[in-house]
Amino acid sequence: MTQETPRAANGSSNGSTNGSTTGTSQPAASRRSRKSASSDYNADSIQVLEGLDPVRRRPGMFIGSTDVRGLHHLVWEVVDNSIDEAMAGHATHVEVRMLEDGAVCVTDDGRGVPVGRHPSGKDALEIVHTVLHAGSKFGGGGYKVSGGLHGVGVSVVNALSEWLRVESSRDGSVWAQEYSRGVPTTPVRKVGPQGDRRGTTTTFKADPEVFETVEFSFDTIAQRLRESAYLNKGLWIRLLDDRADRERSFYFEGGLVSFVRHLNKNKETLHSRPIYVDKREGSTSIEVALQYNDSYAENIFSFANNINTVDGGSHMTGFRAALTRSLNDYARRASILKDADANLSGEDVREGLTAVISVKLVEPQFEGQTKAKLGNAEIKGQVEAAVAEGIGQYLDENPTDGRRMIEKSLTAARAREAARKARDLVIRKGALEGMSLPGKLADCQERDPAKSELYIVEGDSAGGSAKQGRDRRFQAILPLRGKLLNVEKARLDKIVSSENIRPLVIALGAGIGDSLDLAKLRYHRIIIMTDADVDGAHIRTLLLTFFFRHMPQVMENGYLFIAQPPLFRVSTGKVTHYAASEAERDAIVKKLAVKNVTVQRFKGLGEMNADQLWDTTMNPETRTLLRAEVDDAAEADAIFTMLMGERVEPRKDFIKTEARKVQNLDV
């Protein structure tokens, strides 16, 4: 979750026009102003940004953002360099240490960064850390396979750090250099003999002048390091947190097979042994593991040179094509599909699938520095051929497993057709009745989705207060009655016909599942607003499950928010304050320092007057919203499966583990 600061959601122009002019009949002052502006644009206006200045001027171009996600991207850039050493066969251990002062130290036992005079006149160590697009990953001499193909990673980290120190242990000595915001503060110097040390140690502290927060998350880093260990079987990765005296180590001999087992640990699997493909095509390595479970969600994770390509790419396309073709071919060979039957679709064969795709290639073509999508066209055919061969062999050797997979896909196909008919019925019924929007929806006047908000509220009582308190120009209200369907345990046909979810789907206007079209979304701010009690938390979780499973694009584009209504109203009769927590309430009471303070605890939104709800929770100028984001899809999938899935035991274990952290139990 990320917090959004208060700001207006629907602006208006304060300017006015009293008359108009045509042709050249403009005021003399206006003509002089234009002439002056034109003459100011000359050769002196052209700026050349030297060294790492472009990074500090436009950090988002290099790390995606300056929020907590961009902050952690600094760690990924340094760790990826160490992982590259492991992929090249030169490193077996990587250590990440979170220091007490907020800095991060990354150490590997690889070859160490080269030192010595470069033809440019500077030391090679300094060039690597201060010059964009400088490194050994372009010509193939230093690395055959690398994640950091742009050669900007560590120099960008250096530019965006308050300070950075690098030590390179090689050639019999330990060499070091220090920097401040990308500028060397010391020369490259020998600081001691190499001894038993080898590799690189990089310590940096993120610059608070650049980032919104410089607080690194242990759990976020741990998840990424676990992922890297799965992708590099035999690599030992250790994470230490000096701030809280925590430590975690990751080592997996099973590689991707272990990864898939981990992802499916809280699910009932259709076959006990994951299908595993490991093939080399020339200089390209292709590794795939997949296993079906009894859920209705698809979870496919793709990597290229250990980089998580969250937007997929050519390797993902090749995998999906191979999967669909292989299962259809087997279904016909085994006479499960008859000649007259239609083929299974891609969506049918991916229901309940967990898969990890990892390719390692010499010249990866990523889209952007954040490497979200792989573009190498030749990889599609290579992955498709390797996966088709591997799946075909497995199905021939394990016919019972193959039949289970096909039967699940056929059930998914029937459910998909039922869902399509249900959607069509909803659309036709709405059109025939002349009422395409649900009756409980209090729509807004604005028709521009970018300026429109939809509040999803719990019950008619809260809905009444919200409708009275809203700004009807751009805020729409949709009350929900009762508990939502738990979509984690339901197929799409049942979801579409649900009396609670169908009005929400119609109100949003973008469709659902494979028919989802984000261009038709009627609101670009969808705000979940529930009571601050157990029931409200449950409804909020059900809604988050629905969006995560069936409208993930809404979350990916930053359109889903959670309202933060206050828990307390603190009043002296003349002065009123609102508090979001008990600590904030106590601080307000202490600050007021009078004996006649009245404290009211809001258990439900319906207890708040319309003006109170507007002032505290709905006014864009004063409210606080949390944006729902997916930082780690694999971890999010595991949490939703545990909390909302069919199996009870993982949920009981979670409750037992977390129960000690409960401070206030609302029963």
Name the nearest CA neighbour of 195 among 109, 323, 95, 102: 109
Distance CA 515, CA 417 (A): 12
Q: What is the pLDDT of residue 664?
A: 61
Which one of the listed residues 242, 294, 493, 535 is annotated catalytic? 535
Which structure tokens are listed for 108? 């590997």
Distance CA 23, CA 336 (A): 76
Q: Is 83 exposed, middle or buried (0-12, 13-18, 19+ CB in 10 A)?
A: buried
Q: What is the pLDDT of residue 532?
A: 75
Active site residue 535: yes
Q: What is the pLDDT of residue 641?
A: 86
Q: What is the pLDDT of residue 109?
A: 95
Which one of the listed residues 126, 531, 615, 637 is annotated catalytic? 531
The terminus-to-terminus CA distance of the chain in angstroms comes to 26
Q: What is the pLDDT of residue 425?
A: 63
Cα separation values, 54 from 57, 182, 317, 369, Å: 5, 11, 35, 14
Name the nearest CA neighbour of 295 among 268, 260, 320, 275: 268
Active site residue 533: yes
Q: What is the pLDDT of residue 645?
A: 85
Active site residue 458: yes
Q: Are 605 and 466 in contact (CB under 8 A)?
A: yes
Rounded to 5 degrees, φ, ψ at 168 are: -120, 120
Name the nearest CA neighbour of 125 among 203, 152, 134, 172: 134
Q: 10 Å Cβ neighbour count for 133?
A: 10
Name the nearest CA neighbour of 213 among 71, 104, 103, 97: 71
Cα separation values, 370 from 59, 140, 367, 373, 424, Å: 12, 21, 8, 9, 40
Which one of the listed residues 4, 242, 347, 533 is annotated catalytic? 533
Please write the tens of the pLDDT for every residue from 418-461: 877 766 665 554 433 434 677 789 999 999 999 999 999 987 77
Q: What is the pLDDT of residue 19?
A: 36
Q: What is the pLDDT of residue 88?
A: 85
Q: What is the pLDDT of residue 544?
A: 94
Which one of the listed residues 167, 443, 458, 637 is annotated catalytic? 458
> What predicted TM-score, i.e. pTM, was given to this entire model?
0.68
| Positions in the chain whose pLDDT score sits under 50 | 5-35, 37-38, 45-49, 136-144, 146, 148-151, 429-435
Determine the angle formed by the axes of helices 218-231 and 633-644, rounding to 10 degrees: 100
